[in-house]
Amino acid sequence: MIEIQDLHKSFGSLEVLKGINLKLEHGKVLVIIGPSGSGKTTLLRCFNLLEVPDRGSIVLSDTKLDFTNVKKVPQNSVLELRRKTGMVFQSYNLFPHMTVLGNVMEGQITVQKLPKEDARKRALALLDKVGLSEKADSYPHQLSGGQQQRVGIARAMAVEPEVLLFDEPTSALDPELVGDVLKVIKQLAAEGMTMVIVTHEMKFAADVADTIILMDNGLILEQGTPQEVLVHPKSPRARQFLNRLSGEAE
Bridge partners, residue 220, by sequence: 215
What is the spatial distance between Cα 221 and Cα 167, in angstroms, rounded to a whole number?
Answer: 20
Question: Does 124 fall in a domain?
Answer: yes
Q: How confident is the model at residue 111, as a pLDDT?
A: 82
Question: Does 14 fall in a domain?
Answer: no
pLDDT digits (tens, 9 = 90+) for 27-68: 999 999 999 999 999 999 999 999 999 999 999 988 899 998
Res 248 pLDDT > 80: no
Question: Does 11 fall in a domain?
Answer: no
Question: Does 67 fall in a domain?
Answer: no
Q: Place 72 in a pLDDT band, splitting at 50, 70 and 90.
A: confident
**Whole-number average pLDDT of the chain:** 91
Question: Does 191 fall in a domain?
Answer: yes
What is the spatial distance between Cα 173 and Cα 169, in angstroms, rounded to a whole number?
Answer: 8
Print the domain residue range for 105. 74-249
Question: Does 240 fall in a domain?
Answer: yes
Q: Closest by alpha carbon to 163, among 87, 88, 85, 108?
A: 85
Contact 23/3 with Cβ under 8 angstroms?
A: yes
Q: Closest by alpha carbon to 93, among 172, 186, 33, 198?
A: 172
CATH code assigned at 236: 3.40.50.300
More confident position, 94 or 69: 94
Three-state DSSP state, 211: strand
Question: Does 7 fall in a domain?
Answer: no
Q: Which of 44-48, 77-81, 98-102, 137-141 has the lowest mean pLDDT?
A: 77-81
Q: How many domains, in total, are found in the chain? A: 1
| Whole-structure pTM value | 0.91
- Please compute the mean of the pLDDT values over residues 100-126 and round it to a whole number: 93
Contact 147/134 with Cβ under 8 angstroms?
A: no
What percentage of the chain exceeds 70 in pLDDT? Answer: 98
Question: Does 15 fall in a domain?
Answer: no
